[in-house]
Structure 1
Amino acid sequence: MEALVKASAPGRLDFLNTHQDYKGLPVVSVAVDLRTTVTLRRGEEFEITSLNTGERCHFSKPLIEGRSFCDYVKAAVISVEREGVVLRGFSGELYSDIPIGAGMASSAAMLVALVGAMLRLAGRGADLYTVAELAYRAEREVLGVPCGRLDQYGSAFGKVAVIYPKPPVRVERLEMRGGVFVVLDSGIRHSTAEIHPKRQAELQEAVEILREALGVESEGYWDFPWEVLEARRGVVETLPQPLRDRVLFTLEMQKSTERALAYLRGADVDKALREVGREMLYQHHLLSRLYEVSLPKLDQLVEEAVAAGAYGAKLSGAGLGGVVIALAPNREVAERVGQLSSAERWWVVEIDEGLRYGD
């Protein structure tokens, strides 16, 4: 077992197929070059200090009390120990470049780095799937955050990651050559816990109607065979509003993502970036018009980004606030996009690798 371990994990952007993972459909993440780094040493109790805030977390038994920095550390310990790993204690530090509340999954990056460091300190070899899943369980099951697997898997695997969420979870990593992203913060705070349940209830109602009309077996929107609807668009058109729009959104977003991934897998780099940018704009249109999770401010940020030279832009995350991400051809254009935007704050980020150990 190593006496000292250092692990770091990147923030991530919700790139393509937003609002689709809870339907069992693939989502696409991009890891960025803002990271959280954890350094751990073996100890008798559990102690870790945030170098960003100076907050010190010290405990002998991990009892969850809320969703503070210390609770996230405890959740990581609980998740790892549930896997049968014995953690006798550690001391360490955590530092993060990832801004909180900026749509870059800072909490997921922290959990991925913590879980990776804990497993290595305990002498347990673990692949990226194990680290990502334990980080996901820490946030979803231990802390009770209503998240999908996008954040933790996107951070652990890095680069451009296509995450297929139906068990067994599968991840396809793609190389995206060229392109720089801009993250534009609307300054409007939002709550995933308020947005997801409403859309999920609408989808469940739609699925119950479609299940009977098509004679297919399904327990709900999670395992519904969405692909059968492509040849049965007429049935979708009979749904009442807003159910019809929610289902059309699901189908159109999936088709758009398949087109974007085909471009990314191709050999023409410049064409890929331009076409992916167009698909981002189309996906924002779908999120705004058919899923109704955009706001005038988010639409404005998208328009400003394109006017400043971005290939495309879309809201990232649950919507009704939060951030817009824009794809620019180079850093010079990306800086211009940020400077000319009406965003409350903004960052230029580039694609980065996932979980890594050492300096």
Structure 2
Amino acid sequence: MFTTRHQPRIGTLVRARAPLRLGLAGGGTDVSPYCDLHTGAILNVTISKFSYATLEMTGDGKIVFEALDRDETTTYDALPYLAPDGKLDLHKAVYNRIVADYLGGAPVALRLRTSSDAVAGSGLGSSSTLVVTMVQAFVEAFALPLGEYDVAHLAYIIERKDLGLKGGKQDQYAATFGGFNFMEFYAEDRVIVNPLRIKDWIISELESSLVLYFTGVSRESANIIAEQVSNVESGKQSSIEAMHALRREAVAMKEHLLRGDIPALGRALQAGWEAKKRSAKSISNSNIDAVDQAAREAGAFAGKMSGAGGGGFMFFLAPPECRQKVIRALESFGGTAAACYFTSEGAKAWRV
């Protein structure tokens, strides 16, 4: 256990933010036991939607957590451990882990405010990104000796181990590193992040072709992930073969992306979505299929759900001259569609 010697002064104000991500290919192969048995591979990219945190050292003997986007506030006495009770448990879990591992068990009076550009269950990794953002704020406030891999792994431990929330590993690493990344997932929680150097014209062409659509329905990813896990654990061959296909498409899409072969990228994206649907029944439904078909009839040549599936955000690739037509077709289903832009920067924090 590392105990920090840096104690921020009362009144210290730190802000942090981390980007949300699109899962381009390989989603689900980062979840145990698949990645432990077969090695997972994921291609993702961060976008210009963020989670935010403001950490203020108050010294008033209280701990206050505020989720500004949910209009929710909880207040506690400054104790070394705050038991999860269903009220802003992500905030409590971050505080608990930081105090136990880095502050020698000494409680801290503080106010932690957070917000996100996407709701939980969006498919953009919002919950994990929020945890990364809060961890990054504590790293800055207490000058903790944590690099990118450390922050991402700590966020994973907090969410998956401390709170027992179902999910994979890609979201924490995407939010921490930022940009286009090809990630490899091995047994014993070992992760390798390979940042990709994408040419500017390729990024511009992708941004000009991309449509991000929010279905208006958030979903509980844990149920979908539990189905995938069960299929792998039971040895269901069709699901395991689908996961293998997802991994292959991630590798193929990486090459197409680096070469700037947009048509091939679209074909790989579509093949990955078809394989994703075969990995668990709850990933798609009749409404998602109808939205997908309408986008294609309007000119999109590829698309998929972002994240576990079942709801949240979808994204589509279309010739730039067809993008507005695709947006109009998507919005006829009652959701919201818009252009989407990439970011190259991961989690960051600064003092005010």
TM-score tier after normalising by the smaller chain length: 0.7 to 0.9
Q: Cα 1:67–1:182, aligned 2, differ >3 Å: closer, same or farther?
A: farther
Show structure 2 runs of 5+ residues with no match.
Answer: 1-5
Q: 1:263 aligns with which of 250, 256, 263?
A: 256
Question: Separation in 2 of the partners of 1:72 and 1:149?
Answer: 16
The superposition leaves residues 235-272 of structure 1 with CA deviations (integer Å, 9 ceiling, x where unpaired) of: xxxxxxxx332232122222222111111222xx3x2x
> Aligned partners of 1:57 and 1:156: how far apart in 2?
27
Question: Are positions 1:351 and 2:342 aligned together?
Answer: yes
What is the match of residue 195 of structure 1? Answer: 224
Q: 2:102 aligns with which of 72, 81, 84?
A: 84
* Equivalent position to 1:285, from 258, 264, 274: 274
Please say if 1:51 is aligned against 2:68.
yes
| Residue among 240, 263, 270 paired with 1:274 | 263
- Root-mean-square deviation (CA), in Å? 2.5
Distance change in 2, residues 1:40/1:205 (3 Å):
closer
Does residue 64 of the first structure (1) align with residue 115 of the second (2)? no
Structure 1: distance between partners of 2:112 and 2:226: 38
| Equivalent position of 1:108 in the other structure | 128
**How far does residue 193 in structure 1 lie from its aligned partner after superposition?**
2.9
Query: How many residues were matched structurally?
Result: 317
1:198-347 correspondence runs (5 A): 198-206=227-235, 243-266=236-259, 269=260, 271=261, 273-289=262-278, 291-292=280-281, 293-328=283-318, 330=320, 333-341=322-330, 342-347=332-337
SS in 1 for 2:74: strand
1:149 aligns with 2:169: yes
**Which whole-Å deviations, capped at 9, do the CAs of 1:271-330 have from their partners, x for residues lacking one?**
2x3321211111122223464332222222222223333342012222234432223455
TM-score by length of 2: 0.80
CA distance in structure 1 between the partners assigned to 2:181 and 2:49 by the alignment? 17
Cα separation, 2, equivalents of 1:99 and 1:318: 15
Aligned residue for 1:145, secondary structure, equals coil
Which is further off, 191-200 or 280-289?
Answer: 191-200
CA 1:66 to 1:317, structure 2 compared with 1: closer, same or farther past 3 Å?
Answer: farther
* Rounded Cα–Cα distance in structure 2 between residues aligned with 1:320 and 1:294: 5
1:223 alignment counterpart: none
For residue 32 of structure 1, the aligned residue among 43, 47, 64 is: 47
Q: Could you tell me whether the CA contact under 8 Å between 1:112 and 1:135 is conserved in 2?
A: yes
Letter in 2 for 1:98: A
Q: Which runs of 4+ in 1 moved over 4 A?
A: 332-335
Change (3 A) 1:36 1:308: same
Secondary structure at 2:303's aligned position in 1? strand
Corresponding residue for residue 3 of structure 2: none
Shift of 1:122: 1.0
Residue of structure 2 in register with 1:13 after alignment: 22
Shift of 1:169: 1.4
Decide which moves more: 4-13 or 282-291.
Answer: 282-291
CA contact 2:166–2:226 (8 Å) conserved in 1? no
**1:96 to 2:116 alignment:** yes
Does residue 1:42 correspond to 2:35, yes or no?
no
Identity of aligned residues (%): 23
- Three-state SS of the structure 2 residue aligned to 1:26 is strand
Cα offset for 1:115?
Answer: 0.4
1:186-213 alpha-carbon deviations (Å, 9 max, x no partner) = 345543332233332332232xxxxxxx
Q: Which moved more, 1:42-51 or 1:119-128?
A: 42-51
Q: Distance in 2 between matches of 1:329 and 1:125?
A: 46
Distance change >3 Å, CA 95–CA 193, structure 1 → 2: closer
Q: TM-score, normalised by structure 1?
A: 0.79
Following superposition, the deviation at residue 33 of structure 1 comes to: 0.6
